[in-house]
């Protein structure tokens, strides 16, 4: 029972971490909270559903296609809106991304209808791991998350683009002076962050089975809790915070009551903030 | 005495234009349809928490997204009092301001240690925690079912009195509450405390270096903003006569944000205009129900780049152009 | 007439370390009430950190800070300013840009003019009278620093030099005992430097306000201050008459090395 809950929590936590890490890199580089982040998660799931249901592709083919679709979508939004948010105040950024959130959420409803759609795909056959039956899809989620986080750590720490990201995160004016193309860095980071959310959406849809236009909203809000607990900008911290949240949720749902599940994220957030205002895994004091 | 003329004249001019606006709004029911009035009532429902957000964000510089949480607490307080004790509106309303304000004090203890993004997130968290409480404290709130057939506002000292029930009556009640709330906001903003809140917004360390108790003023801003939100909740719950945990839905928080930021934060007229324009807009868009929220989203995002300081700026510019000499002369420069 | 010298600010073994880096390495210093004391030293010698420790922005790792006879170690910056009238300026944060020049001064005065918090929210007779008095005082001070014509201008629209003058004026609002100035002459033109210097002298002479001034412009400081203290690597290298200190070979060497 307990082991079951822990694996469940780990899987859900990986989903949260994968979405949140995209938000955290966007926040770090752009300095804006992306209120539409969960909408890219939703877009990823819908794009894959469309590929399977309407184009008759297999699940494995639908994954790259869905990511490509979301990448193109975020290229357009990034080019038209997000790039300009570099010079805009924090509050204005919230309004702008809220607008995008409404646009995408209701756009999906407009295109695919307001009802739930059933996502038919993925590998749901159970597999025996440590004496327990777990759906293959769940194991895949955890493995993909680990791989993505490993790659991100490398990207941010070692690659030259990572250096540019860190430079923009620290001081935009200096980057302008040094001739670094800030807008390009922002655009690429934004596409990276949103495609991670989309990947998470595609990977999760076979488990949740139902997809709908407003499914991203709850994910956006939970990502807020995860990125703050993770210390805002720390990649490893985001993964740990995601796992902690996922496991706590699954324990609370089982032992306290299902109706308390959605309050876990924010109760945990407030407790962590009371204890350490800069998040658990961050030693830097950074507002 | 040159020192008063400039500031004094400016304020007198603002008072005069305020009186003119109130007079126009008071006469509006003579020409308006009941549909138009009910749209304005919704604007006024959102204006009350928006004024609180304007105080805490526009003056003290803290983006609190807890407004609709306090709005819900105020609404529940007002509804429960009226349902269980049959108390008159003034008492329900006062309690609806007071209870969220008191609740804001313990919540401020973790929240005020935080700045910027962490503060925003912490205030979002409060709304979800309150939502969860309202869903699970079934004995008090009836959980997800919510409270229905909340009594309509009874205007009377204790028992008896007059019961507000037509749209026009609700409109005048809302107008009265909004005028009082705006007057309260103007008083706070123009007081020494208001000046100090602006100082905190501009530079907290510098504000502390001149000897101010920054924490106390930030607390005051948080508590007062909660009281404004609670006031909105009270008016709302007696208007729609139902309340359920869906009042804590993020959509409502987003609406308040749009009213304040889209209208013009840190100005008195901004949220008022924002309330009228953006809520009327969302009503007008009902002619194309499927496209409504898509277009609304587009307009929001575009308005950030077209009017980065809110729609109050271009509108006042237009008004200045229309009333050339005196309005500008009294500005002092 | 000989008056017993009184200390305005005393540092007793003040030390501040950030992890392994020692910024201030045990400083003992007595600032005599009524003097103008210059504080110089190469970049990174710990001048600003010392200021931060004196005014409560940082808490010293060890040692005590006294204002007069009161031990203010560990007090918050706002309390030190309010109760001990020990004020400081910052290098970068100068004035509140969104407020007018007059409001900047009223703001600086209101924290000591209003003892309670509640009174500041009011619009009653007493509150209005106090604010009126502060506005009058602000007018006089603006006149004094030569900014009367900018009274109703937003501080953010003023030149940097004018902002520094305004900052100086705002520090005089709460009737200070001691003022610590962090590079008051950096980045402003010689005419305005002269105006600030004159005002420092006048305030010091007429009201007996003690000044401690961190500054890189040694020429100005040599003329202005009664005493010059040199800080190097977190400790005091020299202390005494400005002319003598500047000729001190140790000081010259520290500057060349730094």
SS (H, E, C) C195-233: HHHHHHHHHHHHHCCEEEEECCCHHHHHHHCCEEEEEEC
The answer on pLDDT for A215 being more than 80 is yes
Q: What is the pLDDT of residues A139-156, one digit of tens each?
A: 889 999 999 999 998 998
Model pLDDT for residues C63-95, shown as the tens digit of each residue:
899 888 888 888 989 899 888 899 999 888 689
Give yes or no for residue B212 having a pLDDT over 50: yes
Distance CA C127, CA A40 (A): 54
Q: Which helix (H) or strand (E) holds C28?
A: strand C21-32
Q: What is the DSSP letter of B57?
A: I
User: Scanning every residue of chain B, which has its alpha carbon at the shortest distance from the alpha carbon of A257?
Assistant: B136
Q: Where does the pLDDT of residue C140 fall: very low under 50, low under 70, confident under 90, or very high at 90 and above?
A: very high
d(CA A228, CA B115): 12
Q: Is C122 helix (H, G, I), strand (E, B) or coil?
A: coil
Q: Is B216 on the interface with C (CB under 8 A)?
A: yes
Nearest CA in chain C to B211: C78
Q: In angstroms, rounded to a whole number, what is the distance separating the alpha carbons of residues A35 and A114? A: 21
CATH superfamily of C7-257: P-loop containing nucleotide triphosphate hydrolases (3.40.50.300)
Backbone angles phi, psi at C66, to 5 degrees: -120, 135
**A196 neighbors A26 (Cβ within 8 angstroms):** no
Q: What is the pLDDT of residue A284?
A: 41
Q: Which residue of B has its CA nearest to C58?
A: B205
Taking residue B156's Cβ as centre, other Cβ atoms within 10 Å add up to 13
By C-alpha distance, the chain B residue nearest C55 is: B209
**Closest chain B C-alpha to A90 CA, distance in angstroms:** 9
- For residue B270, the surrounding DSSP H or E stretch is helix B269-284
What burial class does residue C1 get, using C-beta atoms within 10 Å of its C-beta: 0-12 exposed, 13-18 middle, 19+ buried?
exposed
Does the pLDDT of residue C116 top 80, yes or no?
A: no
Q: A285: which DSSP letter? A: -
**Residue A128: predicted pLDDT:** 77
CB atoms within 10 A of CB B149: 9
Determine whether the interchain pair C114/B196 forms a contact, defined as Cβ–Cβ distance below 8 Å. Answer: no
CB atoms within 10 A of CB C239: 16
Does B220 contact C98 at a Cβ distance shorter than 8 Å? no
How many CB atoms are closer than 10 A to CB B289?
8
- pLDDT value, residue B44: 93
Closest CA to A37 of A191, A248, A247, A181: A191
Q: What number is the average pLDDT over the span B192-203? A: 91
Distance from CA of B107 to the nearest CA of C (A): 21
Q: Which of A29-33, A256-260, C148-152 has the lowest mean pLDDT?
A: A256-260
Chains A and C touch (3+ CB pairs under 8 A): no
Does position B333 have pLDDT exceeding 50, yes or no?
no
Mean predicted lDDT score pLDDT of chain A: 87
Contact state of B128 with A262 under an 8 Å Cβ cutoff? yes
Neighbours of chain B (3+ CB pairs under 8 A): A, C
**Which residues in chain B are closer than 8 Å to C139, comparing Cβ atoms?**
3
A63 within 8 A of A57, measured Cβ to Cβ: no
Tell me what the mean pLDDT of segment C19-28 comes to. Answer: 87
Chain B residues near residue C118 by CB distance under 8 angstroms: none
- For B130, name the nearest residue in chain A, comparing CA atoms only: A263
Look at residue A286 and tell me whether its pLDDT is greater than 50.
Answer: no
Q: Read off φ and ψ for residue A117, nearest 5 degrees.
A: -115, 145
Pairing of strands A117-118, A126-129: unpaired
Backbone angles phi and psi of C233, in degrees to 5? 50, 40
For residue C127, what are its two tokens? 């509150």
What ipTM does the predicted assembly reach? 0.88
Neighbours of C211 (CB within 10 A): 24
| Listed residue (C140, C156, C77, C129) closest to C105, CA to CA | C140
Instruction: Note the pLDDT of residue B117.
Output: 80
Chain B positions touching C114 (Cβ under 8 A) are: 192
Provide the pLDDT confidence category of residue A257 given band limits of 50, 70 and 90.
confident
CB contact at 8 A, C38 and C227: yes
May I ask the CATH architecture of the domain A2-111+135-275? Answer: Orthogonal Bundle (1.10)
What does the pLDDT read at residue A259?
A: 80
Cα B96 to Cα B65: distance, rounded to the nearest angstrom: 19
The whole-number average pLDDT for the span B65-76 is 94
**B220 contacts on C by Cβ (under 8 Å):** 117, 121
Separation of alpha carbons B230 and B48, rounded Å = 8
CA distances from C200 to C204, C224, C225, C226 (A): 6, 9, 10, 12
Q: Determine the pLDDT at residue A260.
A: 82
Burial of C222 (0-12, 13-18, 19+ CB in 10 A): middle
**Rounded distance, CA B112 to CA B218, Å?**
7
In the numeric block, the tokens 């992890």 are attached to C19
Q: Which residue of A has its CA nearest to B136?
A: A259
CA distances from B161 to B86, B153, B177, B178, B238 (A): 12, 10, 18, 22, 16
pLDDT at residue number A280: 63
| Domain ranges for chain C | 7-257
Most B-contacting residue of A91, A217, A230 (CB-CB within 10 A), to test interface: A91
Backbone phi and psi for residue C31, each to the nearest 5 degrees, phi listed first: -95, 120
In angstroms, what separates the C-alpha of B198 from chain C's closest C-alpha?
A: 8
Query: Is there a contact between B3 and C139 (Cβ–Cβ < 8 Å)?
Result: yes
Average pLDDT over residues B238-262: 89
Instruction: Please list, residue by residue across C3-39, b when 16 or more beta carbons sit within 10 angstroms of its beta carbon and e when fewer do.
Output: eeeebbbbbbebbbeeeeebbbbbbebebebbbbbbb
The reported pLDDT for the residue numbered B322 is: 63
Average pLDDT over residues B299-318: 82
- Report yes or no: A235 and A227 within 8 Å, Cβ to Cβ: no
Task: State chain C's mean pLDDT as an integer.
Answer: 87
CA nearest B112: which of B41, B224, B216? B216
Q: What is the pLDDT of residue A125?
A: 76
* Of the candidates A272, A216, A270, A218, the residue with the CA atom closest to the CA atom of residue A240: A272
Calculate the average pLDDT of chain B: 86
Q: Spell out the alpha helix ranges (H) of chain A.
A: 2-30, 37-53, 59-80, 90-112, 136-157, 160-170, 172-177, 182-208, 215-229, 235-255, 261-275
pLDDT for residue B8:
61
- A170 token code pair: 């620290």
How far is it, in rounded angstroms, from Cα B231 to Cα B38?
Answer: 18
How many contacts (CB atoms, under 8 Å) link B and C?
A: 97
> Tokens in use for B330?
């009294």
pLDDT band at C250 (very low <50, low <70, confident <90, very high): confident
Compare CB distances from A95 to B135, B258, B293 and report the shortest one's residue.
B258
Question: Do A268 and A246 touch, CB atoms closer than 8 A?
Answer: no
Phi, psi at residue B151, to the nearest 5°?
-60, 150
How does pLDDT run across B129-175, given as a tens digit for each residue?
899 899 988 888 888 888 988 889 888 888 888 888 898 999 999 99
pLDDT band with cut points at 50, 70 and 90 for residue B50: very high
Q: Tokens 């209120």 belong to which residue?
A: A35
Token look-up 């109050």 returns B312
Q: Which residues of B touch C77 (CB under 8 A)?
A: 205, 208-209
Exposure b/e, C119-146, CB count within 10 A at least 16 = b = bbbbeeeebeebbeebbebbbebbebbe
In tens, the pLDDT along A176-209 reads 888 888 889 999 999 999 999 999 999 998 888 8
* pLDDT of B5 higher than 50: no
How many residues are given for chain C? 258
Structural contact between residues C108 and C170, judged by C-beta atoms closer than 8 angstroms = yes
Kindly report, residue by residue over A94-137, the tens digit of the pLDDT.
888 989 998 999 899 888 887 888 888 777 777 777 777 778 88
Contact C81 B202 (CB under 8 A): no
Which sign, positive or negative, has the C-alpha torsion A108, A112, A115, A120?
negative
The residue-averaged pLDDT of A149-164 equals: 89
Interface size A-B, in CB pairs within 8 Å, comes to 133
Residues C88 and C96: beta-carbon distance below 8 Å: no
Interhelix angle for A136-157 vs A182-208, to 10°? 170
Q: What are phi and psi of A90, to 5 degrees?
A: -55, -45
3-state secondary structure (DSSP) of residue B33? coil
Q: What is the dihedral of CA A25, A26, A28, A30, to 10 degrees?
A: 150
C122: pLDDT strictly greater than 80: no
* Whether B208 and C76 lie within 8 Å, measured CB to CB: yes
CA gap B103, B122 in Å, rounded: 15
Pairing of strands C7-18, C62-67: antiparallel
- DSSP letters, A225-267, are HHHHHTTSS-HHHHHHHHHHHHHHHHHHHHHT-GGGHHHHHHH
Residue B2 has a pLDDT of 41
Mean pLDDT: which of B109-123, B315-329, C23-37 is highest?
A: C23-37
Q: Which has more pLDDT, A216 or A259?
A: A216
Asked if C76 lies within 8 A of B212 by C-beta distance, the reply is no
pLDDT in tens, A231-245: 877 888 899 999 999
Distance between alpha carbon B283 and the CA centroid of its chain, in Å?
Answer: 19
Q: What percent of chain A clears pLDDT 70, i.e. is strictly above it? A: 97
Alpha-carbon gap, residue A98 to B147, rounded angstroms: 30
Instruction: Provide φ and ψ at B155, rounded to 5°.
Output: -90, 105
Q: Is the pLDDT of residue B231 over 90?
A: yes
Q: Provide the token pair at C24.
A: 């201030």
pTM over 0.90: no
Q: What is the DSSP letter of A119?
A: -
Chains in contact with C, where contact means 3 or more Cβ–Cβ distances below 8 Å, are B
């Amino acid at each position: 029972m307990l082991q079951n809950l822990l694996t469940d929590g780990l899987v859900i936590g990986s989903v949260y971490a994968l979405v949140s890490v995209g938000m955290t890199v966007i926040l770090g580089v752009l300095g804006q909270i992306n209120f539409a982040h969960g909408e890219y998660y939703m877009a990823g799931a819908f794009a894959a559903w469309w590929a399977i249901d309407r184009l008759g592709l297999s699940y494995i083919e639908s994954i790259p296609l869905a990511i490509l679709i979301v990448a193109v979508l975020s290229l357009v939004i990034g080019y038209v809106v997000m790039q300009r948010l570099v010079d805009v105040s924090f509050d204005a950024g919230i309004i702008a991304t809220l607008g995008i959130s409404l646009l995408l959420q209701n756009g999906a409803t407009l295109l695919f209808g307001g009802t739930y759609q059933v996502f038919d795909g993925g590998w749901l056959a159970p597999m025996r791991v440590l004496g327990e039956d777990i759906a293959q899809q769940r194991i895949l989620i955890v493995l993909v998350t680990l791989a993505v986080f490993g790659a991100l750590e490398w990207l941010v720490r070692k690659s030259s683009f990572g250096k540019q990201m860190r430079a923009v995160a620290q001081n935009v004016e200096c980057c302008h002076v040094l001739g670094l193309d800030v807008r390009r860095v922002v655009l690429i980071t934004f596409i990276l962050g949103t495609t991670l959310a989309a990947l998470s959406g595609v990977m999760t849809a076979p488990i949740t089975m139902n997809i709908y236009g407003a499914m991203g909203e709850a994910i956006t809000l939970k990502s807020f809790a995860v990125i703050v607990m993770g210390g805002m900008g720390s990649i490893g911290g985001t993964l740990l915070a995601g796992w902690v949240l996922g496991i706590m949720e699954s324990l609370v749902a089982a032992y306290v009551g299902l109706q308390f599940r959605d309050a876990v994220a924010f109760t945990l957030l407030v407790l962590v903030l009371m204890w350490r205002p800069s998040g658990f895994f961050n030693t830097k004091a950074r507002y | 005495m040159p020192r008063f003329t400039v500031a004094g004249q400016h304020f007198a001019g603002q008072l005069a234009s305020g009186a003119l606006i109130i007079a126009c709004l008071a006469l509006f029911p003579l020409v308006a349809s009941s549909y138009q009035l009910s749209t304005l009532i919704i604007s006024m429902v959102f204006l009350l928490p928006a004024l609180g957000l304007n105080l805490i964000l526009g003056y003290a510089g803290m983006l609190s997204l807890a407004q609709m949480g306090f709005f819900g607490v105020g609404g529940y307080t007002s509804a429960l009092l009226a349902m269980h004790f049959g108390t008159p509106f003034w008492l329900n309303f006062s309690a609806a301001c007071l209870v969220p304000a008191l609740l804001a004090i313990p919540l401020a203890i973790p929240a005020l240690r935080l700045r910027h993004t962490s503060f925003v997130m912490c205030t979002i968290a409060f709304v979800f925690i309150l939502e969860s409480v309202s869903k699970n404290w079934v004995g008090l709130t009836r959980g997800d079912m919510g409270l229905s057939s909340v009594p309509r506002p009874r205007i009377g000292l204790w028992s008896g009195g007059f019961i507000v029930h037509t749209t026009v009556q609700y409109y005048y009640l809302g107008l009265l509450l909004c005028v009082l709330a705006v007057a309260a906001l103007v008083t706070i903003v123009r007081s020494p405390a208001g000046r100090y809140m602006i100082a905190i917004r501009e530079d907290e360390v510098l504000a502390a270096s001149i000897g101010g108790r920054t924490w106390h003023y930030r607390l005051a801003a948080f508590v007062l903003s909660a009281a404004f939100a609670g006031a909105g909740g009270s008016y709302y719950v007696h208007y729609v006569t139902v309340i359920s945990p869906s009042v804590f839905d993020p959509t409502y928080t987003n609406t308040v944000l749009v009213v304040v930021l889209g209208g013009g934060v840190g100005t008195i007229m901004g949220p008022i205009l924002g309330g009228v324009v953006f809520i009327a807009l969302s009503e007008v868009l009902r002619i194309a129900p499927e496209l409504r929220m898509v277009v609304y989203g587009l307009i929001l995002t575009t308005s950030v780049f077209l009017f980065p300081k809110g729609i109050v700026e271009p509108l006042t510019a237009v008004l200045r152009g229309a009333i050339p000499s005196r309005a500008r002369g009294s500005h002092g420069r | 007439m000989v008056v017993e010298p009184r200390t305005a600010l005393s540092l007793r073994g003040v030390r501040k370390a950030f992890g392994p880096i020692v910024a201030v390495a045990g400083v003992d210093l007595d600032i005599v009430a009524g003097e103008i004391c210059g504080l110089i030293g190469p970049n990174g010698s710990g001048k600003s950190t010392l200021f931060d420790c004196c005014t409560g922005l940082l808490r010293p790792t060890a040692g005590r800070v006294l204002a007069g006879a009161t031990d203010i170690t560990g007090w918050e910056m706002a309390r030190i300013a309010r109760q001990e009238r020990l004020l400081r300026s910052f290098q970068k944060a100068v004035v509140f840009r969104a407020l007018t020049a007059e409001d900047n001064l009223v703001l600086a005065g209101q924290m000591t003019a209003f003892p309670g918090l509640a009174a500041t929210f009011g619009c009653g007779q007493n509150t209005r009278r106090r604010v009126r008095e502060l506005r009058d005082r602000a007018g006089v001070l603006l006149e004094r620093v030569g900014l009367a014509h900018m009274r109703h201008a937003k501080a953010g629209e003023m030149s940097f030099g004018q902002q520094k003058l305004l900052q100086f004026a705002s520090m005089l609002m709460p009737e200070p005992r001691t003022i610590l100035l962090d590079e008051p002459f950096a980045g402003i033109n010689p005419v305005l430097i002269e105006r600030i210097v004159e005002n420092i002298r006048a305030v010091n002479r007429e009201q007996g306000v003690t000044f401690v001034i961190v500054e890189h412009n040694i020429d100005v400081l040599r003329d202005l201050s009664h005493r010059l203290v040199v800080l190097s690597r977190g400790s005091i290298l020299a202390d005494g008459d400005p002319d003598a200190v500047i000729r001190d070979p140790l000081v010259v060497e520290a500057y060349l090395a730094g």
